[in-house]
Copies of this chain bind each other. A is one copy, B any other.
Amino acid sequence: MDKVKMGIIGFGCRSYGMTSILLGFDDVEIVAICDKYEDRVENGKKLTQEKKGNIPFGTTDYKELIDSGLCDAVYIATDWEMHSPIACYAMEKGVGVAMEVGGAYTVEECWNLVDTYEKTKTPFMFMENCCYNRDELLATAIARQGLFGKVVHLSGAYAHDLRQEVTCGKENRHYRLRNYLTRNCENYPTHELGPMAKVININRGNRMLYMVSIASGSFGMEQYVENKGEDLVNKDLIGVDFAQGDVITTLIKCANGETMSLRLDTSLPRSYNREFCIRGTKGMYEQISNSVYFDGQPEYWSSVEYIDKYKDTAEKYKSLLPNEWKIITKEALEAGHGGMDFVELRDFVDRFKAGKEMLCDVYDAASWMVITALSEKSIKENGSSQQIPDFTRGKWQQREPVDVLTFGSLEE
C-alpha cells in the first residue's frame, strides 16, 4: 500500500490538530470527514482543501462514512461515549481504526472491542500519544537497560486544569461537560497508565489484577463557575452541581507484584504535569523533579543536582530513542504536544501500510479504558476493590513483550 486513504470521524479541536499532521504526510490522503455538527464537517473539508487541494466527502453520519468504501482507515476522535461503538462498526466493515483515548463506560464496551478485533482482525490502534512521548520513552529505555533494577512501583497523573475547557465551551458542545456533571470516576486514565503499563509489560507477561479508586468532593468546577459569574460563556452552569470529584486517586496491583498509582486532577488550579515516575530496586525516574536517582547516590541532595543527573543520563541514553525522535523536525515538535502526536501518527500510518500489529493494541485499549468503568463502581462503594478482567483470556502469559521504543524499526 502506497497511500492510506483516511476518514476522520469527529472534527473538534483534537481532530483539527491531528488531521493537520496527517495532511502533512505524503502517504496519507484525507478522503472523508464526519462530525455530528455540520459546521465542523465544513471546517474539515476546508482544512483539507487548503492543505492538499482535494475536497473530502463530508457527512454527519459515521456509518455513512464507513460504509462509503472511500476509506482504508478512520481516525476516531468523537465524544468518549462513541469511541468504541464507532471503532467496532469500522472493524466489522474491515476499515482500519485509529481510536483516540478516553475511558470506558462499561466493562462490556471493552469486551466488545476485544471480541470484534479477534473476530475481524481489522487493524486497530489505541491512540495513546503519551506512549510515544520523548520523556516517557527515554525513561523506559533507561529502565530497559536495567538501571532501575526490578520495577516495583509506578505513578503518574493527568494533572491538567480543565476548568475553562469544560465550562466555557460554546453551546455546551464539549463532551467533557456532561461527563463532569453526571459521573464521578477516573475519567481519563490512559495518559499516565499507558506508558506505565508498557514499562511493566501489561498484557505481555504481566497483567493488572485489581484496583481501587477514591474521589474527593467536587468543589473546583462549582467555585470556578461561581467566581466567573456573569463573565461565564455558559450561564446555565451557575449554581449547578457537578458530580465529578476534583481529585480521583486509583491504585492498581499487578500479577508480578508491581503497584501503579494514577491521579485524575483536572478541576483545581495547577500547572500541567503527568508526574510519570518509575521506582525500582536500583533507582528511580521522577518527571515532577526532572530527575533520576540511582542506588548509592547521596540520599539528601538538592533539586538542582537531581536535574543535572537526569540531563547527564538522558544524554547518555538518548541513542536508545527511536529514530523518529532523532530526526524530528521543528514543525513536528510544534505540531502537537511537543512532537508526540507526529511520531504517533507516523507509527500508525507505517504499521498500517506494512500490515504490522499496532504497539498500543486492542488489549491495551480494553485494559486501560476499563479502569474508568471500574473506578466509577469503586468510588460509589467507598473504595471497594474491583477485579480487573483479563481481556487477553490468558494469552498474557505467552505474549512476548514489545516496546513502543522499537517503533522506528518495524522489525519486532
A interface vs B, CB < 8 Å? 149-150, 152-153, 161, 209-212, 214-220, 223-224, 245-247, 249, 251-253, 256-259, 261, 263, 265, 268-272, 279-284, 288-290, 293-301, 303, 306-307, 381-385
Contacts and interface: CB of A to CB of B under 8 A. Distances in A.
Contacts of A218: 257
A25 B245 CA distance: 49
The 7 A-B pairs with the shortest beta carbon distances in the complex, nearest first, are A217-B257, A269-B295, A153-B247, A383-B385, A216-B259, A214-B251, A212-B383
A142 to B, nearest CB: 14
Given A253-B382, A271-B299, A271-B300, A281 B215 contact: no
A283 B269 CA distance: 6
Given A269-B282, A269-B283, 19 more contacts: A152-B220, A153-B216, A153-B246, A209-B382, A210-B383, A214-B253, A218-B257, A219-B257, A220-B281, A224-B281, A251-B383, A269-B293, A269-B296, A270-B293, A271-B298, A288-B289, A303-B307, A383-B383, A385-B385
Nearest to A281: B223
A258 B220 contact: no
A290 B149 CA distance: 28
A294 B161 CA distance: 12
A166 to B, nearest CB: 14
B214 A212 contact: yes
A210 B382 contact: yes
Contacts of A271: 293, 297-301, 306
23 contacts: A149-B223, A152-B216, A153-B216, A153-B246, A153-B247, A212-B212, A215-B253, A216-B253, A217-B258, A219-B257, A246-B279, A247-B279, A268-B280, A269-B283, A269-B297, A270-B299, A271-B297, A272-B299, A272-B300, A303-B303, A382-B385, A383-B385, A384-B384
A268 B150 CA distance: 10
Contacts of A383: 210-212, 251, 253, 383, 385
Contacts of A272: 299-300
A252 B247 CA distance: 12
Contact of A251 (B251, B256, B297): B251
A209 to B, nearest CB: 8
A382 B209 CA distance: 9
A190 B384 CA distance: 24
A390 to B, nearest CB: 16
Contacts of A303: 289-290, 303, 307
Contacts of A251: 212, 214, 249, 251, 383
A300 to B, nearest CB: 6
Contacts of A220: 152, 281
A119 B294 CA distance: 52
A245 B279 CA distance: 13
Nearest to A258: B216
A261 B290 contact: no
Contacts of A297: 269, 271
B152 A247 contact: yes
A183 to B, nearest CB: 17
Contacts of A152: 216-217, 219-220, 246-247, 268
A298 B270 CA distance: 9
